[in-house]
Structure 1
């Protein structure tokens, strides 16, 4: 914990990188707490390839076994695998490596494209008191700003994950079936609950589930009840708010807690949509699936156009705009030399 505190008090000189690193430091600390105090890995965890109890393994084998648990946040291939993972790949080894490298190239150019937009839009060059909201350019540009900034972490995580999977599978350290996509299908995002539970990455679900179940047990709620369900929902987003808020702290003490409003609002939005869906069902209204999904997509789009500025605006004030996420930018170099996007 002392090392984590020291890390959160340090800086790389890049505000956005500080935020990402700060969030990662706290995530690792929470993961460690989950594994040490809320579970018993030797008893609770078993990999599908385990042929002997962990107690029978040699010390080097047990170290690898423990390393695999800690650095596999979705527990892919374990009996504790998180729910709603994307389908496991069924392709052969070298086909998977090629597909992963092609995905990495695709996400590289996606990042180059969105970074080209960000670095040619004047609001991203402002910070501090001069900063303006992502809403300041009208609704169309607000949505484009949100999509561009949302695509940045989405692209970075997919790029890194695709390269890592290609490397591990090429070396024979892992298998294609243990490398499902980092994110789920966008077609699943017709409710806010499904966006967070199926489409967005599941790298925090493992420890959030443990903390949520611990809270429901302490409060005396039985599994499967509404009390249990919503306790786990609010604990998950409160934990996410705390983790990201400590990432804010690494950017600067004055920003501590700025991310919290956004993440807690997601639990409220999910509660609201659950109430609406339940009310429609109680009334016996029959809505065709295609219509329900279309209405859901519109609702999700509008909700994030309203709530995302709560997460993004403080980052602009902190100076996230000029941050670079790629070592080279071939598309942006061409764009800046030949035209402007905005």
Structure 2
């Protein structure tokens, strides 16, 4: 892997080492040994950080940093063998499973960040509804259609973003454009994020369907419908992907209940958990962003992810206060007509959109200035088709 960040390339064995050690750590039956295994895993991620990555490798950097925080949860904060159980698991602890069965259990755990199929799966409506389709063939056809749509979306938005000066390395950034352009640019950026996360998930769903061991009802989508995002809390806690939910809530509960000893239902506990969860999410993204920053003219403070995610916690906190105040004054949305509820939800979605129009540049502009968009993954289906048209057809790649 060649780096354009002023750092030497990273050996592939070093990139794979945190995952190999994570698997090995969870195979040990002794909790003391599992805890001790966290140190080499964290050290490897720190070592990779000192080497750095090119701007186009941001997804790899994010995955590595997330693995470090995930293993902190599974090895230090949680007795994963005793507390996490697959649905239908007869053994009281993963440590009592035979070696091969325990290896399968570990693979399930490391590939199930949302804990789907586990007794610990979130039950508060945080995950999108499970599909009701019963035919594997029809469900697979639907996934293929969505996969094609995501790829086409990535292609179209990739073209439009490369034509926009806001996403150019030498451009003004998202913050440098007028509010109208900025609003459109934020939608484009989230469309790429949505598709880039959904594509590997759709592929994984098709692979799992092909094994014959999973039904469509076992494979909920990665994102809930956009119509659910009519408040900031619902955007982050319901509509957006929930792959970080387990790791951030585990750390948040540890800080609130074990360090500060707040009661579980206490309002101060909820506030501490909110800010801790977004602080950790900010730390994950900030760390990964730092890994792709060049050494010559960027430092840790040049990244914007921590500020962005702490702003989300503050925004949700203020939003909760305003909604609570409205309810105390007797305003009940559920008491209104269906048309009024729909109108209020549309207004809420526009408010969320404009909130992100204001704050997303804080997070996106620093990576854009080092070429994250220009050097990122490209889908060129339309460009490849245009090659058959002739020299008169030019679409930037």
Residue in structure 2 matched with residue 95 of structure 1 by the alignment:
138
| Closer, same or farther: CA 230–337 of 1 in aligned 2, 3 Å | farther
Alignment of 1:182-193 (within 5 A): 182-193=222-233
Shift of 1:331: 5.2
Alignment of 1:110-121 (within 5 A): 110-121=153-164
Shift of 1:95: 2.5
Shift of 1:314: 1.1
Contact kept? 2:383, 2:395, Cα under 8 Å: no
Q: Describe the superposition over 1:208-240 as per-residue Cα deviations: whole angstroms up to 9, x where unpaired.
A: 111111111121211122111111110010001
Residue in structure 1 matched with residue 20 of structure 2 by the alignment:
none
Deviates more, 1:81-90 or 1:206-215: 81-90
Shift of 1:57: 2.7
SS at match of 1:201: coil
Among residues 30, 33, 40, which one is paired with 2:79 in the alignment?
Answer: 40
**Structure 2 residue 167 is matched with structure 1 residue 124:** yes
Q: Give the gaps of 5 or more residues in structure 1.
A: none
| Closer, same or farther: CA 41–192 of 1 in aligned 2, 3 Å | same
Residue in structure 2 matched with residue 285 of structure 1 by the alignment:
331
Residue in structure 1 matched with residue 354 of structure 2 by the alignment:
302
Shift of 1:159: 0.8
Residue in structure 2 matched with residue 197 of structure 1 by the alignment:
237
Shift of 1:46: 1.6
Contact kept? 2:282, 2:309, Cα under 8 Å: yes
- The runs of 4+ residues in structure 1 deviating greater than 6 Å are none
Residue in structure 2 matched with residue 230 of structure 1 by the alignment:
271
Contact kept? 2:53, 2:61, Cα under 8 Å: no
Q: Give the gaps of 5 or more residues in structure 2.
A: 1-41
SS at match of 2:325: helix
Shift of 1:24: 1.2
| Closer, same or farther: CA 295–124 of 1 in aligned 2, 3 Å | closer
Taking structure 2 as the reference length, what is the TM-score of the superposition? 0.79
- In 2, distance between residues paired with 1:329 and 1:244? 30
Contact kept? 1:46, 1:79, Cα under 8 Å: yes
Alignment of 1:141-220 (within 5 A): 141-217=181-257, 218-220=259-261
Taking structure 1 as the reference length, what is the TM-score of the superposition? 0.91
**Structure 2 residue 296 is matched with structure 1 residue 244:** no
Among residues 77, 87, 102, which one is paired with 1:62 in the alignment?
Answer: 102
Shift of 1:133: 2.2
Shift of 1:266: 0.3
**Structure 2 residue 64 is matched with structure 1 residue 21:** no
Shift of 1:47: 1.4
Residue in structure 1 matched with residue 377 of structure 2 by the alignment:
325
| Closer, same or farther: CA 96–285 of 1 in aligned 2, 3 Å | closer
- In 1, distance between residues paired with 2:385 and 2:311? 38
Among residues 221, 228, 237, which one is paired with 2:262 in the alignment?
Answer: 221
- In 2, distance between residues paired with 1:269 and 1:236? 14
Among residues 130, 151, 156, which one is paired with 1:108 in the alignment?
Answer: 151
- In 1, distance between residues paired with 2:144 and 2:118? 26
- In 2, distance between residues paired with 1:29 and 1:136? 35
Contact kept? 1:185, 1:198, Cα under 8 Å: no
Among residues 179, 203, 228, which one is paired with 1:139 in the alignment?
Answer: 179
Shift of 1:255: 4.4
Shift of 1:175: 3.5
SS at match of 1:95: helix
| Closer, same or farther: CA 295–122 of 1 in aligned 2, 3 Å | closer
Shift of 1:149: 1.3
